[in-house]
Structure 1
Amino acid sequence: MQKRPPCPRPPGAPRWVAMFHQPARDSWTVGAESPDRDPVLYAVGDMTQTVLARGEEVTVALWGPEDGAWRRYDTPAAAKGPAPATKGPAPAGTAGRPVPGSGEPPELAERMTDRRHQVLMAGLSKAGLYDLSAEDDEAVRAMTDLLDEPTVRRVAHWLSLAGGEHGRGESR
């Protein structure tokens, strides 16, 4: 059994969070977060596949809510290999729609939409907005359908700055 480095509890209110260990820095980074478990597990599988393709080792910690508090869960099986293809309905808001004018196959377009959704949710989290309503989630999904990835990353960066991430005088 491989011993994992200790993973700190994520900041903020309990929600589903996947933390990835970066051996070069001996630090943990939030890889995905959402109020729902399924998008985080999907992201873990996708990110794990990418890291393994680079020939790097993957260490993931999954945190989630339990009775209003944080709980660390066993790393999902998806972290050990690629995310399985799902045959069921797509997550709300994506419906397998390709990005208009992208020319991408529906599976790739859906994955990129999910990725943009994760980036925006992470930005909102860094701005201190954890408890989002269904209306807020629908607004985020509408933005992911309309914006390209560089624009979504720029918006998430603005949100993290608004949350004070870079303005607290922390040293790096």
Structure 2
Amino acid sequence: MDDGTGLPVPLDGPPRYVAVFRRAGGDWVVAAQSPGRGPVEYAVAAMTRTVRARGQAPWAEVWGPDDEGRGWRRLRTVRGRPGPAAASGEPGQPRPSASARDERLRDRRHQVLLTALAAAGLTDLEPADTSAVTHLTEVADEDDLRRIAHWLASATASGQRAAGEQA
């Protein structure tokens, strides 16, 4: 997936949404593919967090169909700062032990919020952002977080429509 310049070029086949990541060695690897953009953006957010947790600087690109739906275009590039090397445990107060059901529900709320942020293009979260996400997942219920996700999706769609009208 390289055109000789070191930058990724689209894959063969029908246009779809594709996320590619640049490895430490300089080559590109496909991290996610989907007919919808949401799962690809979520994968970019998850991979960005993983790469930063390794103490590396993430570099990803999202490709998708062009306006006619027949060709490819680069939708965005994500270049982040390196994160601190992974610590042995979570900083701060230890979380009180919870039942497996409570942990599952907390994880679902966390995933809802991270997916919404990824769909809005927020993939390289600062430590303060991560704290805010953790706090919200602890205090809000899933319905409230789904409502916040809906607001983010609506705002993102409005921004994309406005950008398309200006082009």
Q: Place the TM-score, normalised by the shorter chain, in its bin.
A: 0.3 to 0.5
**Larger helix share, 1 or 2:** 2
> Given the two structures, how large is their TM-score scaled by the length of structure 1?
0.45
Bigger Rg, structure 1 or 2: 2
> Given the two structures, how large is their TM-score scaled by the length of structure 2?
0.46
